[in-house]
Amino acid sequence: MNKQLSLSLALISLLFISSPIFAAALDAKDIIQRANQAAYYQGEDGSAQVRMIIVDNQGGKQLRQFTILRKDVENLKDQRFLVVFSRPTDVKGTVFRVNKHVAQQDDRWLYLPALDLVKRISAGDKRTSFVGSHFYYEDVSGRNPQEDHYQLMSVDEQSAAYIIKATPKDLDSVEYAYSINHIDKGSFLPKQVTYYDRQDNKIREMNVIKTQKVNGFDTVVHSRITQLPDGGYTDMQFRRVKYDIGLPDELFSERSMRRPPIKWLR
C-alpha cells in the first residue's frame, strides 16, 4: 500500500512538473537571458551608425546622428560602449561612454566638447533622457536583468511571442511599477516593452519596427520609444551594422572621448 501511494504521488508530481503553468515559471529567466543575449551581445563586438528622430507631442522634430561602438568583456557580463555624435552641429563631438557591469552599477560618462569637459553620469541618472530623446541612458546599453523579478504570463501563438512581466526589485530606482515584455519566440529579440505605473496605466512603450539578418544575427534596425499618454516619440534607425570587427580595448577610454577614433566611425 505504501509503495502504491509513493508511486501515485510520484506520478502526480511528474504531471505537475510537466504542466505548462509550472514549466512557464521555470522558463522565464532563461527567456530573459536569451533576449538579453539577442539584444545586446551579438558577436564579440560591433558597430552601427544611428539616426535618431525625436518628435514632440506637437509634431516638432529634432535629429541626432551618432556611431555606437560596443565590445564585450565577457559574454552576458561586462561590456564597453562608446557613442560618438556627428549631427546636428550643437551636439557634434559629444561622446557618451559606458562601462557596463553585471555585479555592480554601470559607470557612465558624457564628454561635452564646448566645455572640454568629461562629466560623470550618476547611477540615479540612468533613467533620464538620452540627449533630449525619449530613450533613456539605460536603454542604450541595456538594463541589468538581475535588477528585476520575472514571470512568464503566457505564450501568444498568434504573434509567436513570450509575454513576460518584469517587476523591478527596487521600485524607488525607476519611474514605473512593472513592464510587460513581448519576446519573439524565434529570434528572442524583444518586440515590444510596455511600462506601467502603480495604477496600471501605460506610461511608456518600446516597439521594434524592423529587424534584419546581419552576419547571421537577428538585428533590430528600427525601433521606437513612445511617451504615453502625450504621444511624443523617438525613432532609432540603425545602418551599416557590423559584428566581430576587432575593436581594441584601448578604444573605450577618456582619451577616445576627447579624440574620437575616426577609423572606427566610418
Render pLDDT for 216-244 as a digit per residue (tens, 0 to 9).
999 999 999 999 989 999 999 999 999 99
Q: What's the pLDDT at 4?
A: 47
Burial class (CB in 10 A: 0-12, 13-18, 19+), 222: middle
Helix (H) or strand (E) holding 258: helix 254-258
First CA to last CA across the chain, in angstroms? Answer: 76
Q: Tell me: the pLDDT tens digits for 94-106?
A: 999 999 998 888 9
pLDDT higher for 11 or 137? Answer: 137
DSSP character at residue 136? B
Widest pairwise Cα distance in the chain: 84
Q: What is the mean pLDDT of residues 115-120?
A: 95
Q: What's the pLDDT at 12?
A: 35
Domain ranges (residues) in the chain:
27-264
Q: What's the pLDDT at 9?
A: 37
Q: Tell me: the pLDDT tens digits for 70-93?
A: 999 998 889 999 999 999 999 999
Q: Which residues contact 218 (CB under 8 A, 6 or more apart)?
A: 38, 42, 186, 187, 188, 189, 211, 212
Q: What's the pLDDT at 266?
A: 85
Q: How many helices (H) and strands (E) does the chain have?
A: 4, 13
Please give the Cα distance from 100 to 108 (Å, whole number). Answer: 8
Q: What's the pLDDT at 76?
A: 85
**Closest listed residue to residue 244, CA positions, set 211, 208, 216, 212:** 216
Q: Rounded to whole angstroms, what are the CA distances from 219 to 192, 212, 233, 242?
A: 14, 5, 21, 10
- Tell me: pLDDT of 170 over 60: yes
- Tell me: pLDDT of 196 over 70: yes
The owner of cell 506637437 is 58
Is-contact 224 236, C-beta < 8 A? yes
Determine the CATH number of domain 27-264: 2.50.20.10
Is-contact 84 265, C-beta < 8 A? yes
Is-contact 86 63, C-beta < 8 A? no
Q: Tell me: the pLDDT tens digits for 10-68?
A: 433 333 333 444 444 348 999 999 999 999 999 999 999 999 999 999 999 999 999 99
